Amino acid sequence: MGNRNPKFDAYISRAPQFAQPILSHLREVVHQGCPEVKETIKWGFPHFEYKGILCSMAAFKQYCAFGFWKGSIMSDPKKVMTQVGRTSMGHFDRITSLSDLPLDKILISYIKEAMKLNDEEIKVPQRTRPKSDKILKVPAYFLKKLKRNKAALKTFEGFSYSNKKDYVEWIEEAKTESTREKRMVTAMEWMAEGKIRNWKYVRK
């Protein structure tokens, strides 16, 4: 049924043990809802295409994610989707077991809606950025680290407000000192390379 990509099999087999049945199930449900779907790997994780990108799934160390490419404009009649920002790919929060997913018939109805949006070539509206100047409060410890890394500091200073905010919030949301420190190290490395916080999900 549909077009199967062996790279999907490889991705699923490499995923954590808990994630494998989740990814396999999502794959089957998508094919059931959209028999014409094609499988492709984009940005390192599985995507399903039907007249454009339809949806995607991914496995992480502790959870899986599944999301619709045009989820922000879907009707969500069952109120099961978590509306997220453009840089996040999941619309069903953190999926740790099959029980975290909606019923198959609900997922299939959402897949059908996503197909219709692609059939009708409906695009997600571009968000307009407010022109007002915003001032972001950057923690002192964050600034201290930046001043020790000239490349990272230069990148940070050239960032837009939202890109700066993405990094600051990520660091501030760390629940432990060790986690915060690890994130700081990663942030400095990424910014030294000119990368935004969510560079992995930037469409190329």
- pLDDT by residue, tens only, the chain of 204 residues: 458 899 999 999 999 999 999 999 999 999 999 999 999 999 899 999 999 999 999 999 999 999 999 988 999 998 888 765 443 457 888 899 999 999 999 999 999 999 999 999 998 887 665 555 577 888 899 999 999 999 999 999 999 889 999 999 999 998 899 999 999 999 999 999 999 998 887 665
Show which of 86, 119, 152 is a domain's final residue.
119
Do 62 and 115 fall into the same domain? Answer: yes
Query: How far does CA 111 lie from the centroid of its chain?
Result: 18
CATH code of the domain covering residue 78 = 3.90.1150.200
Enclosing H/E stretch for 53: strand 53-59
Q: What was the pLDDT predicted at 85?
A: 47
Q: Which domain, by its residues, includes 157?
A: 140-201
Do 93 and 150 fall into the same domain? Answer: no
Distance CA 12, CA 20 (A): 6
Do 154 and 68 fall into the same domain? Answer: no
Q: Is 42 helix (H, G, I), strand (E, B) or coil?
A: strand
Do 168 and 109 fall into the same domain? Answer: no
Q: What was the pLDDT predicted at 204?
A: 55
Q: What was the pLDDT predicted at 87?
A: 39
Do 110 and 23 fall into the same domain? Answer: yes
Q: How far is CA 77 from CA 43, 80, 87, 103, in A?
A: 30, 8, 23, 14
Residue 125, in any domain of the structure: no
